[in-house]
Structure 1
Amino acid sequence: MSENLPGAPGVAAATTVPKPPSNLYRGYVMVMLFLVYAFNFLDRQIISILAIPIREELGLDDRQLGLLGGIAFALLYSVLGVPIAWLADRTNRVWIITISLGVWSGFTALCGMAQNFWQLFAARVGVGVGEAGGVAPSYSLIADYFPPQARARALAFYSLGIPLGSAFGVIAGAQIASGNVGEGLDWRWAFIIVGLAGIALAPVFRLTVREPARGQLDTVKMDAKAAKPSFFDVIRVLLKKPAFWFLTFGAACSSMMGYGVFFWVPSFLARSYGLDLVTTGWMFGGLLIIGGAAGIVLGGFISDWVGKKSKAWYALVPGIAFLFTMPFYAVGVLAPNATIAFFVFIIPNALALAWLGPVLSAFQNLVPASMRTVASSVFLLINNLLGIGVGIYVLGELSTILAPAFGDESLRYSILIGSCLYLVAAGFMFLAARFLPRNWEG
């Protein structure tokens, strides 16, 4: 196989760089990766707020909306992530991220041209195909720009793209779809505008972000003979790492509810509390910015701090957070009015996302540098198939089943039942903590 993508600088050339990049440039790279990830979630989650006008115009039920938010996006997104990650471990990761950004942004714009359920479903599949190449290569790049003791914080900063990108998508989508941005604009224009913005970012990312030397900051240096392991080599290593699997299924259980909340809470706020589209956008966007950002940052910093004493804390911190997430969601979802629900929801929003920095950092230290992208893609395959594909759909299906009994309140009880998954996630994290110190490599 060729060492390079067409026209791309080769990995071999990058490995000859004599010294690591400056702190200033590393900071710039993190900002660019954050922006790309923010667009990843902006394009992925904007449908959560647009589901309200889409449901009205196209006449869809919660089951169909669950398919658009879940399976349509998750199936190829999850499956294609593995071969793309295999390619990324052998070629230029910056090129792969650039191409992926352009593809998913283009399909996001096409969502705005859909005239029925199946056309929108096909466009959402295309968004998933593009985003399949965005995340795992980024994890690997960050691991080559930051040393092990700083990776949880770096990955936490990168993961801020989740709440901030989602929040911007929800707020901007609501403003555009309601006509506040310009007369004649609707939900279709929301898709088109954010899609074109992502396309504009792609060449800037490619021209300014350099491919780093692999494993340049690791304490355990990569064996040159094992620089290009096969997919099955990676799987054989992972099968000997029980911590990897417990972390993966713990994160997946939390993501089933996490992605479900991201998708369904705007509809819940609108239906159960009678909020209009713009108010719903601002309220849910505020929840993501305040709660989500705080949880991710604190999770990363606390884990890097206590992780100096024992690597088990990279699993214990998320496990403890998950234990408290479920009861706070129960209180929030049963709140008598939107104001109380907002302030209560801030707490579980923070706790539910505290796992990102420590768990993603642990994954980068469970395998050698040459296996990181593929290992991350295996995690993402499981996490996204269960989290996005199953979680969003199941909450929508459960809401549809409960609708005859509870009407517009069916989403309230669907979310309440789903929040029990955080207790299962906590159990997996506590199991992972038992094995993490002995499975740690980096």
Structure 2
Amino acid sequence: MSATNGAASAAQGHGTPGYRAAVLAMLLLVYTFNFLDRQILGILAVPIKADLDLSDTQLGALGGIAFAFLYSILGVPLALLADRTSRTWVVTISLTVWSGFTALCGMATSFWTLFLYRLGVGVGEAGGVAPSYAIIADYFPQHQRARALAIYSLGIPIGLASGTLLGAWIAATVDWRMAFVVVGLAGVVIAPVFRMIVKEPPRPVAASAVARAPVGQVFGILARKPSFWLMAIGAGFSSMCGYGLAFWAPTFIVRSFGFDLATTSYFFGSILLIGGTLGVFMGGFLADRLGGGDRGVYAKLPAIAWLICVPLFAGGFLTDNPTLSWFLFLIPNGLNILWLGPVTTAVQNLVPPQMRATASASFLLINNLIGLGAGSWVMGAMSDAMTASYGSDALRYAAVAALSFYLIAATLMFFAVRTLRRDWVE
């Protein structure tokens, strides 16, 4: 295939529309399990804390650094492996590994055993997202990628809501340990089905030098582009607040409104599913619709969304009325993840096609070390530090203080608007 034909093929996508839809559906299902396995710890935090006698700081570490450390670091070599071998096999094996360790979490007897099992979940999930981004970018034409990536990103709100609802139901019916076992084994069953349906897409660029580009070359291209750093660090600060709120919100609801585990799951799960689904889809739709004439839109949309999040989230945490809190949380739970479609699409277009998985993993390395690694831990530590002054309301004020991270994220993303127009690779 000539360079010209490769570019044309990449622009038009691969496969029939029906098969592309099937591929996207399977990737969405895997991504749903990705976030289901993450969020289940959040809804089960109250019984886990009581059973294992943990502090808020320890719970935050389990939700953050225990998962994020190896997840972030191993994402780059696994993405490089996916770029050089088979992306579909890397995703399949990764799903099997993280699901197996999720099931093992149900066997934990102490903070450290649960910490180690969460490390294992992070090892598995490290190979799931970046190769999936690259598969989507190869299958879908340029003008549909933001929407396709946004649909894929629906796995976040669906997975978060499913983890909240399913985890609470199993814990209430049996116990918190069985919740981990059931969702973990379900992922193991899905893995071979994914591999049978999703075929490795043809690579759009045939030049062997590009196909075997060393990781240092990919880093070198990204390092010279200011928009990469601004978007990665900006998304990281956003994720620091977003992951922290997602992890601690169920505990906040129990402590502030006195709900039981089942009621908490309905309250929070409905917010995640309704708000998150609308937000992710709108981000991809608006980016595809508005970004064709101005690539800066891919950075501008998230910045505006994060600014709107701050007062709405603050109102939801400060009110003592659960009904008002539900409505105030609904909109920002969509806006805080609106960035997924636009920004992940922009990162895909900072490098040549055969470097996409590695570029995505480089972005996720920064985003997750800042956001996923620190978010829940920082908020838990703030809650412990404020307990002497605010008692049971400490978590409420820790959450409000953490909203300042959205302001930092929005500022960085606004700076990325101009540089992204220059750094974009078609």
Cα distance in 2, alignment partners of residues 211 and 56 from structure 1 = 46
Cα distance in 1, alignment partners of residues 96 and 56 from structure 2 = 30
The answer to whether 1:192 aligns with 2:181 is yes
Alpha carbons 1:98, 1:202 under 8 Å: kept? yes
Structure 1 runs not aligned, ≥5 long: 1-14, 180-184, 216-220
Cα distance in 2, alignment partners of residues 71 and 324 from structure 1 = 28
Superposed CA offset, 1:332-385 (max 9, x none): 111122111111000111110110000001011110011111111111111111
Report what 1:206 is aligned to: 195
Alpha carbons 2:13, 2:139 under 8 Å: kept? no
Report what 1:233 is aligned to: 217
Question: Which runs of structure 2 are paired with 1:374-385 in the superposition (5 Å)?
Answer: 374-385=358-369
CA shift at 1:20, angstroms? Answer: 2.4
Report what 1:89 is aligned to: 83
Question: Which runs of structure 2 are paired with 1:71-82 in the superposition (5 Å)?
Answer: 71-82=65-76
1:306 pairs with 261, 284, 290, which one?
290
Report what 1:110 is aligned to: 104
Report what 1:289 is aligned to: 273
Cα distance in 1, alignment partners of residues 33 and 370 from structure 2 = 22
Report what 1:440 is aligned to: 424
SS in 1 for 2:84: coil
Alpha carbons 2:234, 2:410 under 8 Å: kept? yes
Question: Which runs of structure 2 are paired with 1:337-352 in the superposition (5 Å)?
Answer: 337-352=321-336
Cα distance in 1, alignment partners of residues 227 and 63 from structure 2 = 30
1:136 partner letter: A
CA shift at 1:327, angstroms? Answer: 1.1
Cα distance in 2, alignment partners of residues 223 and 338 from structure 1 = 58
Superposed CA offset, 1:286-344 (max 9, x none): 01011111111111101111102200000011111111111111111111221111110
Structure 2 runs not aligned, ≥5 long: 1-8
Cα distance in 1, alignment partners of residues 318 and 79 from structure 2 = 42
CA shift at 1:413, angstroms? Answer: 0.3
Cα distance in 1, alignment partners of residues 161 and 373 from structure 2 = 21
SS in 1 for 2:203: coil
Question: Which runs of structure 2 are paired with 1:246-395 in the superposition (5 Å)?
Answer: 246-395=230-379
2:167 pairs with 165, 173, 184, which one?
173
2:160 partner letter: S
Cα distance in 2, alignment partners of residues 408 and 337 from structure 1 = 16
2:70 partner letter: L
Report what 2:6 is aligned to: none
Alpha carbons 1:234, 1:375 under 8 Å: kept? yes
Cα distance in 2, alignment partners of residues 34 and 313 from structure 1 = 25
Alpha carbons 1:299, 1:356 under 8 Å: kept? yes
Cα distance in 1, alignment partners of residues 373 and 291 from structure 2 = 32
Higher helix share: 2
Superposed CA offset, 1:26-74 (max 9, x none): 0000000000000000011100001111011111110110111011100
2:112 partner letter: W
The answer to whether 1:119 aligns with 2:103 is no
Cα distance in 1, alignment partners of residues 314 and 207 from structure 2 = 50
Cα distance in 1, alignment partners of residues 337 and 286 from structure 2 = 13
2:196 partner letter: L
Relative to structure 1, the CA distance from residue 424 to residue 133 in structure 2 (aligned partners, 3 Å threshold; closer, same or farther) is: same
1:202 partner letter: A
Superposed CA offset, 1:75-94 (max 9, x none): 00100111111111100010
Question: Which runs of structure 2 are paired with 1:134-153 in the superposition (5 Å)?
Answer: 134-153=128-147
Cα distance in 2, alignment partners of residues 428 and 204 from structure 1 = 41
TM-score by length of 2: 0.96
TM-score by length of 1: 0.93
Cα distance in 1, alignment partners of residues 198 and 288 from structure 2 = 26
SS in 1 for 2:398: helix
CA shift at 1:223, angstroms? Answer: 4.0
Report what 2:5 is aligned to: none
Report what 2:148 is aligned to: 154
Cα distance in 2, alignment partners of residues 115 and 227 from structure 1 = 46
SS in 2 for 1:178: helix
Report what 1:7 is aligned to: none
Report what 1:427 is aligned to: 411
2:26 pairs with 32, 40, 45, which one?
32
Q: Identity rate of aligned residues, in percent? A: 55
Root-mean-square deviation over aligned CA pairs: 1.3
Relative to structure 1, the CA distance from residue 223 to residue 441 in structure 2 (aligned partners, 3 Å threshold; closer, same or farther) is: farther
SS in 1 for 2:304: helix
Cα distance in 2, alignment partners of residues 176 and 168 from structure 1 = 12
Report what 2:35 is aligned to: 41
Cα distance in 2, alignment partners of residues 224 and 129 from structure 1 = 30
Cα distance in 2, alignment partners of residues 380 and 20 from structure 1 = 26
Alpha carbons 2:13, 2:138 under 8 Å: kept? no
Alpha carbons 1:222, 1:369 under 8 Å: kept? no
SS in 2 for 1:89: helix
Cα distance in 2, alignment partners of residues 356 and 170 from structure 1 = 21
SS in 2 for 1:309: coil
Alpha carbons 1:148, 1:365 under 8 Å: kept? no
Alpha carbons 2:309, 2:335 under 8 Å: kept? yes
CA shift at 1:113, angstroms? Answer: 0.6
Question: Which runs of structure 2 are paired with 1:123-134 in the superposition (5 Å)?
Answer: 123-134=117-128
1:406 pairs with 369, 381, 390, which one?
390
The number of equivalent residue pairs is: 416
Report what 1:3 is aligned to: none
